Each structure stands twice: as structure tokens, then as C-alpha cells.
Amino acid sequence: MDITERFLNYTKFDTQSSEESESVPSTSKQLIFAEYLKKELEHEGFSDVELDEKGYLYATLPSNIKEKVPTIGFISHYDTSPDCSGADIKPQIVNNYDGSDILLSEGIVSSPKKFPELLQHVGEDLIVTDGHTLLGADDKAGIAEIVQAMCYLRDHKELKHGDIRIAFNPDEEIGMGAHHFDVEKFGCEWAYTMDGGDVGELEFENFNAASAKIAIKGVSVHPGYAKGKMVNAGLLAAEFIGMLPADERPETTEGYQGFYHLTGMQGQTEQAKLSYIIRDHDRERFEDRKRFVKKCADQMNEKYGEGTVEAVISDQYYNMKEKIDPQMHVIDLVLKSMQEVGVAPKVKPIRGGTDGAQLSFKGLPCPNIFAGGINFHGPYEFVSIQSMEKAMQVVVKICELTARFND
């Protein structure tokens, strides 16, 4: 089976996760794919194939050398984003893309005028959607690349490698992917998530991240008799939004700049709720942002009465850079591997996070490598077949170079 067929098989499964669920995994349909993937890994002859009750799948490609070398791992998530439907995906292959508009379905066009990233892949074979769902390259492309790389190493015994561990997990898209990951069972000295974007991307800096839930209590009174009595929670919510800096939102920031992002709001006169995510690469500024949200809530309570506004802030993950910096050999291996397979590295900070960030703080250094997909989480998502092949080659080369790590 080639990497294209493998990836297309994976897209047949709806694995969308859900932020509203409290189960693990968050949707039962993720387990259907996990069971399929478990059988595939067993069929391919990998060792120690294990799927736990929470949907975490582990396996091993055993060493083919006598020497003791580091055990390393590769990880991808199989859930797709709640932002766009992942059901009944109809992928299409655009062979030898010529740089023109791509008709996804009647009236739905993916154009390089809107998505100039397309022009970086002229002459390549692109897998696109039909414009009604996401594609699922985030992160089923990563899974396909890892499995294909392990099969390649299995079939080319002249390529020497130590024990290689692989793992696939649910619920990354809702920030829960690493929460139940068994680092001790995985048994690696370091690992890599294959969950980045375009060819060459290598990421070991990410946002510090927190969520903020703002609950606002109002007082509902008949509007004809409301003077001096009504407290409109919906209007208070709008006031709270206005207290946060308008130039520190995702749509106004880039690079290392942090932000406050309103992700959800609901409200009536009697009560209102706001959901925010707070992001910053710098740990001190991150702490300042959380304190500022609390301060805004306190100021509104001073104005409208104690208990009117409650802000619950929960940390989600931290910048992995502080855990990677002391072990830069983990990065050097990737850079050398990319060089040897003809990929130009693009080291950049993630304006987001990966499972690798949380895993790094659980004792498993875990930077993020490109998987090749572009325009994630929406109907204009696409992936180049050649990009997936390059990612697979990088994985193979990392395994080879690690086998010579002690030389």
C-alpha cells in the first residue's frame, strides 16, 4: 500500500472530537478508527500493538541492530477539528497542479488568489476536498507518514535503526490529546509529533496557553418596570469584551505576539457566559494576561456588586522551548535529516500548541515536524502527496541517524 492509498483510507472515518463532551475519547466514533488502525498495525507486523480503553494506540518497530541506541518515538493524533464537518469526506486528487483555480464543487473554488500557498505546490499532486468538509490531513497525514515510514524500514533491512515506538491518540484538537498519554509505557528518550504544516516546518516553540470562562449574573425584571432594578448580563458581557485590548486579538497579531481570543458567547438578561483562550510565548507576559482578565472581573464586581462576574482561568499547556533547549540534539537530528533528504528547514514558533508541548512537560521532549497539510480545519484544506512522501523520508532518516547517535 502506498502513502496516498493509506491516507485516503483514513479519511473515510469521521473522527471529529467534541469540546462539549466529558468522555475519553470525546466521541465514540474515534474509537472505531482506532480499532481499524490497530488491526492495520497488527497486519503490518509491528510488535507490542496495544489500544487502551481511552483510545491511545501504541506499537513498536523492533531494533535491527545489536548496539544499544536511544529508543525514540513518533506521534500523531487521529481526531479532526470540531470547527468543520469530518463526515463523508470526498477527497479529490489534482494531478500535476498547474497553479490555476481548483473547482471543488459547483460554486466552490479554491483559488491561489485567496490561498497563495497553492502556488508553492505547482507541479505536485494535491489532495483536496469537495468543499463541504475538511480533509483530515490534520493529522491523518501524520499517521500515514509514520506508518509508511515504519513499513519502509521493515522492508529495507539494510537501513539500521534502534527500537522505534509509535503512538496515535484522540482529542488533540480539543487540547486533551496528551492528558492520558502514558509516557512511561511509551518508553522513549525523546519523540516527535508529526503534526506541522507545510514542507520543512520544524517547531519547538509554542504558546503558553490558558482558557478563561467568564460567568456573568444579571437581574431580570419586566422591562416596563426595570428602572434601577434590571442588570442586563448580556450588556455586561459586551462591557467586559470592551475592557480587553482590541489590538491584542488573533486577527491583529502575528509572530511572537500574544492575544485574548473570544471563542464563544451566550447570554440573556439574567445570565451570560464568555469563553476566551489566552496565549503568549513569553511566560511572564502570559501570567500578566491572566492577571489582567482577573482584574477586569474584579473591576466589574466593584462597579456592579460582588459576585456579578466570575472568571475561572485554567492553564492548558506551556511553551516547550524551555524543555527542548537543554536537549538540542533532538532538534539537530531533524535538521540533519531534512538536509539529507533535500528538505529546506523552516524553523518557526507555533502560534498554537501541539500534544508535544504537554508531553515535553511530562518528561518526553517532543518537538513538532511538518505533516504537509495546509489550510487546516476547513473545506479548503489540502495536502501534497509529494509533501507526505518527504515527511515520510524525514522520519526514516531520523531513525537511521539515531542508530548512529553514539558514534
Options 14, 79, 145, 203, the catalytic residue:
79
The residue annotated as part of the active site, out of 124, 172, 203, 205, is: 172
**Sole residue written with cell 506508518:** 147
Q: Is 172 a catalytic residue?
A: yes
What CA–CA distance (Å, rounded) separates 369 from 74?
A: 10
Rg (CA), the chain: 23
Q: Is 116 exposed, middle or buried (0-12, 13-18, 19+ CB in 10 A)?
A: exposed
Whole-angstrom Cα distance, residue 252 to residue 122?
30
Q: What sign for the dihedral angle of Cα 127, 40, 354, 72?
A: negative
Amino acid letter, 62: P
> What would the grid cell of residue 146 be?
509514520
Catalytic residues: 79, 172
